[in-house]
Chain A
Amino acid sequence: MSLKNKGVCIILPVFNEGDLATKTIQEILAVTKIPIIAVDDGSTRGDTLNKLKNIEKKEKNLTVLHHVINLGKGAAMKTGCEYAWENGFEAVIFMDSDGQHSPRHVKTFLRILREGNSIVFGYRDLGNKMPIVRRFGNMIASKVVSSLFNINKKDLLSGFFAINKNIYPKIVWNSSRYGVETEIATKIGKMRLGFVEIPIDTIYLDKHKGVSVLDALKILLHIPIWYIKK
């Protein structure tokens, strides 16, 4: 299905990112006019919600949704998706709000979606730029998932990806916290759905943010459950 003339929006789950989130939004707005849905996931620090609301007042392309309590990244992504589908969008691009993803790749995502692809993943160079613990964790998780679910994905944990509305019901995730990307990969593998991968920049601003070793262990514990579940 062609996405020409149909809406694509960016979904940005935000939790306590404060200035970093506003900077990310401004960077996105500087390179593209695609609508942005920022989902504040019950932020408690950095006056995050007010900062987002202030930009929302000035920018017609930004919509801010607010979770009254913190539910996790996966839940924020789902809220963004449901809002997007209810408002007539046909595809969404997920980005992290901490500046890990460069908005310059958005146009590539759009082009590939418009070529008729339903799922587009960004993959990072898992070389020297990625901290060694994460590189190792990503490698282990990738090996386990690829062997169990028959999916060959270059970067299992990348949160920079795009899906269209038709594919959403097939891959909708249950993970409310970290583990969304892995769960989606397992579903794609089980259903043998096609996807496209594009290279994206590897940016690490804060090595303590994102998926921790503990989160990675929880994800690994969930893999057998995803394997058993249909």
Chain B
Amino acid sequence: MNFILLQVVLLFFALFMLYVLYIHWKKGHVSNLFFCVWVILWTVFCFIDIFPDLLRRYLYEFYIVRVLDLGMIFSFMILSYITVENNIIIRNLNNKIETLVKEIAKEKNGKK
């Protein structure tokens, strides 16, 4: 099995991400479900990185030439989903903070 440098870099990156996830899970920053989902995702990523030929048979179905392209497409899909989710969460937090700050301002500082 011949590895190219990019595969090695990606493998180390995935292992690093798994380590980061583990640390956060140990500290209680993330839930068990969050931890499991992301461990599965990164493990699958490692597996495909080591055995890219496993996906080669699906490339024709998607009219794609390289496994890397398929990986990029799926990565963008996942990233897009995460961006939308984050945006919604940030907006909700923003609204909650605004409500909280307004209530504090009205209760604590109004003299009338």
A residues near B (Cβ < 8 Å) are 39, 42, 56, 63-69, 71, 75, 78-79, 82-83, 86-87, 176
Contact = CB atoms under 8 A, between A and B. Distances in A.
A65 B101 contact: no
Contacts of B109: 63-66
Name the residue in A56, A68, A86, A87 with the highest tally of chain B Cβ atoms < 10 Å from its Cβ.
A68
B106 A79 contact: yes
A63 B101 contact: no
B111 A75 contact: no
Contacts of A42: 101
Q: Is the interface of B mostly helix, strand, loop or mixed?
A: helix
Contacts of B108: 66
Interface residues of B, number: 13
* 4 residue pairs, one from A and one from B, having the closest CB atoms: A65-B105, A79-B102, A66-B109, A65-B109
B110 A78 contact: no
B110 A65 contact: yes
B98 A63 contact: no
B102 A69 contact: no
Interface in B15-30: none
A39 B102 CA distance: 10
Interface in B54-112: 94, 97-98, 101-102, 104-106, 108-112
B105 A79 contact: yes
B112 to A, nearest CB: 5
A70 B9 CA distance: 42
Contacts of A176: 94, 98
A67 B111 contact: no
Given A64-B109, A83-B110, A176-B94, 18 more contacts: A39-B105, A42-B101, A56-B111, A63-B109, A63-B110, A65-B110, A66-B105, A67-B102, A67-B104, A69-B97, A69-B101, A71-B98, A71-B101, A79-B105, A82-B102, A83-B106, A87-B112, A176-B98
